[in-house]
A = this chain, B = another copy of it.
Amino acid sequence: MKKLINDPKAVVDESVEGFGLAHADLVTVHPDPLFVSRKNAKTGKVGLLSGGGSGHEPLHAGYVGFGMLDAAVPGAVFTSPTPDAIIPATVAANSGAGVVHIVKNYTGDVLNFETAAEMAQAEGIEVRTVLVNDDVAVEDSLYTAGRRGVGGTVLVEKIAGAAAERGDGLDAVAAIGQRVNDNVRTMGVALSACTVPHAGVPSFELAENEIEIGIGIHGEPGRHRIPMENADGITDRLLEPILADLKPAAGDKVLLFVNGMGGTPSSELYIVYRHAVKVLEAAGLGVERSLVGNYITALEMQGCSISVLRLDDEMTALWDAPVHTPALRWGM
């Protein structure tokens, strides 16, 4: 393992400290318990909070700012944050109109956010939770912990964030977040594993000619392993279950999000994007919006995920609305 780190135990603290120094105009870093809050949020606005294990940067702290999150709670690498950090972050995100927790559906995240939400509510803060579970790799959610929250999380945060920024109420913000989740499907692939700093060894082993289809964002294994294929073939394999599950109608407008897992050059993401556009257009869909890059990662893993979000006019307008965060910025 070679990483640009000091003490493996201090990775998250030091990284978030550096992040805070680089983006001091946008965020405040609270060191203990660790959370990140937005500077200059409107008061009276519904607060948006997300969090989860670290290692998925820029998620979530990179999305704190105008038009997106009010607070982010980074846990240890690949480990959900704990209530003692989520609660003060919820307090910071609240300016009187309540707080929406955006939680990825992983057992650890669900349990810790559940506890924190109960305790925050006991302190008088209204909390709503949007559980993101867009990962179609999980085939039979009855016999598993359910579909995981992956790439769609970024889209939920952007669109719900824009709704909060325009002044929607607590239930409305949660509802639009839920609507995004209901209309987005994601599937990922890993070409290589990643190494959790304090573990020091890769999370799994992939042979030189193997790839893992249906990977989550924690280096946990996915649906199955197959021999390496070319980019177009892999793209087909990712899109097929997405379209089978989302069942878009010809003429539907979609947002296509090709996300890098951290160790794949953007040039390769565009090769995937190129073929994905063709497949979607051949299915009669209109690719109205796009996002290509490293937005929700698994440390230095090589691979990508594809998310397809079925858009309606309101979601499109909220997607286009100005956003100014360290990792996503437009319109201002």
Q: Is A230 an interface residue (CB 8 A)?
A: yes
Contacts of A329 in B (CB 8 A): 329-330
Give the secondary structure class of A's interface. Answer: mixed
Pick the contact of A268: B3, B228, B272 (CB < 8 A): B3
Question: Are B304 and A264 within 8 A (Cβ)?
Answer: no
Question: Are A2 and B265 within 8 A (Cβ)?
Answer: no
Question: Are A234 and B4 within 8 A (Cβ)?
Answer: yes
State the Cβ distance, A281 to closest chain B Cβ, in Å: 10
Given contacts A4-B269, A54-B267, contact A21 B274 (CB under 8 A): yes
Given contacts A22-B273, A270-B15, contact A265 B6 (CB under 8 A): no
State the Cβ distance, A277 to closest chain B Cβ, in Å: 5
Question: Are B263 and A300 within 8 A (Cβ)?
Answer: yes
Contacts of A15 in B (CB 8 A): 267-268, 270-271, 274
Q: Which residue of B lies closest to A301 (CB)?
A: B265
Q: Is A41 an interface residue (CB 8 A)?
A: no
Q: A55 to B5: give the CA distance in the assembly, Å.
A: 25
Q: Is A302 an interface residue (CB 8 A)?
A: yes
State the Cβ distance, A182 to closest chain B Cβ, in Å: 25
Pick the contact of A14: B18, B264, B271 (CB < 8 A): B271
Q: Which residues in A have some Cβ–Cβ distance to B below 8 Å?
A: 2-7, 11-12, 14-19, 21-22, 54-55, 57-58, 62, 191-192, 208-209, 211, 228, 230-232, 234, 262-275, 277, 290, 292, 294, 297, 299-300, 302-304, 329-332
Apart from the given pairs A4-B191, A6-B232, A57-B267, 18 other A-B contacts in the complex at a CB distance below 8 Å: A2-B228, A3-B191, A3-B231, A4-B231, A4-B271, A5-B271, A11-B267, A12-B267, A15-B268, A15-B271, A17-B274, A18-B277, A19-B270, A22-B270, A57-B266, A265-B299, A331-B332, A332-B332
